[in-house]
Amino acid sequence: MSKARASAHEALKSRDVATRAAAVRDLSACGSAEDVETLLGFAKTDKSPSVRLYAAAAAADVAMRTASTTTGAVREAWVAAATGVDPGQNPSLLMVLAAVPTQKVLDRLGRTLRDPRYDVRAGAATALRRMACARGNPPAVAQRLSTTFSEWLKAGRHPADAVQELVRIGGQAALALSEEAHTAAAGRGVAAVLDEARDRLQQREELPTYAGVWASFGGDVMQPEPEEPETWLVIDEAGEVVGPSTRSTVALDGRASIDGASARLVWATRPGSEGELLALQLPDRTFWQCSGKVLVQVGTAFQGPLEAEPAAARAMSRALEPVEGVVAKRMRARMLWRGGDASTASELLDELVSQKKPHADALWTLAQMRAEAEDVDGATAAVARALELAPKNCTWREEANSLARDLAERASK
């Protein structure tokens, strides 16, 4: 047992609610398959509602992460433990069922979607969403979900909110619902959601949908992830893919693929972000399409590798254009420069350094650009001002001092 896992198990014995809640959250990230039933026990019996809620979510996270390495008997035990009580006591228990996409479990969730209690129906819908959006589902699971959802919709036995959720999940997870199912759903007052689902299915067949800067944080959709990105991909509007060790294209031939491997787009929520985002699921990784602050975070983490690839730098500069803030603008200028558009980069940097309080990083980038363009006087002025404004512990101070000495030698010749 790892140290983190052992520490979490010890904390579960505490009488303090906050300590137990923190322990189940920790197990969400470091727990193993053996912890699922323990967490389900806390989800059913702990005196604290918050601990019960966190424990159910943690059990689902661990189950989703470890299901592929467990036996059928273990997964059946999870189902029995999660369904052995009235779901009204804690509807979040149903999320564990997402890790066991059998027809039997699907049928149970379908019945639960007809429960008269809204919170119980919502719990079932969340389980179905996690099941449908999980990375690595074999084609047989996707087909089972598509067929079952279609049958439910055609039967017309579910309440309107459940119908809406089924259609929405179909669009989020690229399920091929039948036309008869769509027709049946259209008569249930969910036209807007149906249009959205159809639009998303169509967007998956269009290369521009895949365009952008993508980052993987190590987890899958609807699962806990580290805060720092682990790797990146850039895809242009023609489907050309560039990554740290990837040169490929997106192929759309009935099913999207990259380098012959399945590539599925899903729409999902990500902790810390508002609304639904696009995620690109490859067999071994899930990537999120980046924008705003996350784009700046990715650009900071992988500045060197991105700048080293002109196509990646150009994609970053385009994605950063609407992002506000000095850091984003300076980053965009660097990406424009490394992407081959030194003129636009220079204009953007001139704007940044002409402010009343210019940013030292912007001046340093301007100095580098001018030095590369053999503008010795301009580079000398920019690097001197950058060193004057920069904190003593800035990461590029030694490099800037070296450039200043080099520029002085050039000027003396």
Domain span at residue 77?
1-96
Q: Low-confidence residues of the chain, pLDDT below 70?
A: none
The rounded Cα 14 to chain-centroid distance in angstroms is 34
Tokens matching residue 350: 């001139």
pLDDT of residue 3: 87
pLDDT of residue 4: 87
Q: Is 116 part of a structural domain of the chain? A: yes
Q: Is 300 part of a structural domain of the chain? A: no
- Mark whether 105 and 92 lie in a shared domain: no
CA atoms within 13 Å, Cβ hemisphere of 130: 26
- What confidence tens digit (pLDDT) does each residue in 268-283 have? 988 777 789 999 999 8
- Mark whether 112 and 187 lie in a shared domain: yes
pLDDT of residue 253: 77
With a CB cutoff of 8 Å and minimum separation 6, the contacts of 212 are 234, 235, 278, 289, 290, 315, 319
CATH of the domain at 214: 2.40.128
pLDDT of residue 255: 80
CA distance 39 to 58: 7
- Mark whether 254 and 287 lie in a shared domain: yes
- Mark whether 234 and 286 lie in a shared domain: yes
- Mark whether 179 and 256 lie in a shared domain: no
Q: Is 340 part of a structural domain of the chain? A: yes
Q: Is 345 part of a structural domain of the chain? A: yes
Query: Looking at 138, 173, 203, which one is the last position of a domain?
Result: 203
Q: Is 299 part of a structural domain of the chain? A: no
- Mark whether 67 and 117 lie in a shared domain: no
**Residue ranges with strand state E in 194-252:** 212-216, 231-235, 240-243, 246-252
Q: Is 177 part of a structural domain of the chain? A: yes
pLDDT of residue 86: 94
- Mark whether 185 and 114 lie in a shared domain: yes
Tokens matching residue 102: 């059998």
- Mark whether 185 and 223 lie in a shared domain: no
CA atoms within 13 Å, Cβ hemisphere of 59: 32
Closest CA to 189 of 170, 167, 174: 167
pLDDT of residue 299: 95
Which amino acid, one-letter code, is at 306? L
Query: Looking at 182, 203, 224, which one is the last position of a domain?
Result: 203
Q: Is 366 part of a structural domain of the chain? A: yes
Closest CA to 114 of 128, 129, 100, 124: 124
- Mark whether 225 and 181 lie in a shared domain: no
Q: Which residues share a beta bridge with 250?
A: 258
Domains held by the chain: number: 4
